[in-house]
Structure 1
Amino acid sequence: MAVDLSRLKILIVDDNSYMLTILRTLLHGFGIKNIFESRDPAEAFDTVRADVIDIIITDYQMDILDGLDFVRLVRTGDDSPNPMVPIIMISAYSERSRVQKARDAGVTEFCCKPVTARDVFAKLTSVINAPRPFIRNKSYFGPDRRRAGAEQAMYRGPGRRASDAAEAAAADEAGEGVADKDGANAA
């Protein structure tokens, strides 16, 4: 089944003109016609305020205002018109700590450089076809960081935490057993 992405408005934010060209070429190849580009995150935020952007693709590491600061500005800025816009972050630095920082800033998806057409297309279709609900609390605003599928969300068995395992072991020792999915004790 072909996906029509032609009506999307995508903003690319990267201070590297070569990377802008690569991403623009990929997006054109997917049929996307409305592509905004910015080498400066502050200028990019002006674009976000001036136009309706469907998806943002931003680099992690940029001078002055980096990608994380830009994401936080879009997510929590008082004058941000669409704090729930999907944001895909790209980076050559994919250490776990950086990915976690991006996630905690409110990034929707993370894509490692060198990017491939397959990776970019997968991230785009993911934010379109499987949007995650947004969470707001005292220290975070952004897409739900949990990636559990519907099967896990419906899980009704013993918990996954170590303390739950200890409680289950204690119940087994006490002869109480653990109920299986049909409700019968499996002791």
Structure 2
Amino acid sequence: MPSEQITKSGILIIDPQANMAALVAGMLRGLGRRDIREVNDASQAQQELRRRPFELVIIDDGLVKPDAVEIVRRLRVDAESMNRLAPVIMMSAAPDAARIAAARDAGVTEFLRKPFAANHLKSRLDSIAANPRPFVEGGGYSGPDRRRQERDVGTADRRSPNDPDKA
């Protein structure tokens, strides 16, 4: 294995299936990324997250002991973690609405359903780069702002601090 070249834009891929991690790494290399680290279990993932900062974490939902959602939750609440603010893309072969909601509530930034093509991965990377979401904490949640759209409520519907009926 060639020696790792550490850059400021490293990507950590966490997938229990080594062949899938290698496939995702190949897609990323095709998109021009070079500093890619692959790990295949939760303990390796936690070691890597403590070892160096990553620009992005890609994690598979099939991870166990602890599972992927728990790893993301722990990452987001750990004020000492150098990767706490890193965007996280979760991949899953068969997500249901409850699992997607759990991932979102743990602090996952983007979700990617398997199988996917390199252009799907690129669209998630482009979305993260073009629309960075602020990190928020409160009400038992730590992670990227879960709101994805801004709504113009108009002046007629806006609350007024002087009007008790609209406050």
| TM-score scaled by length of structure 2 | 0.84
2:32 aligned with 1:31, yes or no?
yes
Query: Are the aligned partners of 1:13 and 1:38 in contact in 2 as well (CA < 8 Å)?
Result: yes
Q: Which moved more, 1:70-79 or 1:15-24?
A: 70-79
Paired residue secondary structure (1:52): coil
- 2:86 pairs with 1:88: no
Contact 1:73-1:80 within 8 A present in 2 as well: no
Q: Which residue of 2 aligns with 1:162?
A: none
Q: Secondary structure at the match of 1:136?
A: strand
Counterparts of 1:20 and 1:158, CA distance in 2: 51
The higher radius of gyration belongs to 1
Letter in 2 for 1:127: I
In structure 1, how many angstroms separate the alpha carbons of the residues matched to 2:149 and 2:79? 31
> How far apart are the structure 2 equivalents of 1:143 and 1:105?
10
The count of corresponding residues between Structure 1 and Structure 2 is: 153
Counterpart residue number, 1:110: 111
- CA shift, 1:157, in A, is 4.8
Partner of 2:161: none
Q: Which amino acid aligns with 1:99?
A: I
Q: Does 1:155 align with 2:153?
A: yes
In structure 2, what is the equivalent of residue 179 of structure 1? none
Question: What CA RMSD, in Å, does the superposition of the two structures yield over aligned residues?
Answer: 2.0
2:44 & 2:80 partners in 1: Cα distance?
A: 14
What is the aligned partner in structure 1 of residue 63 from structure 2? 62
In the aligned structure 1, how far is the partner of 2:103 from the partner of 2:155?
Answer: 32
The one of the two structures with greater contact order (alpha-carbon pairs below 8 A, sep at least 6) is 2
**Gaps spanning 5+ residues in structure 1: where?**
1-5, 160-166, 168-187
With structure 1 as the length reference, what TM-score do the two structures score?
A: 0.75
Shift of 1:82: 2.7
Measure, in 2, the Cα distance between the counterparts of 1:38 and 1:21.
Answer: 10
What amino acid sits opposite 1:56 in the alignment? V
Query: Judging changes above 3 Å, is the alpha-carbon distance between structure 1 residues 82 and 7 closer, same or farther for their aligned structure 2 residues?
Result: closer
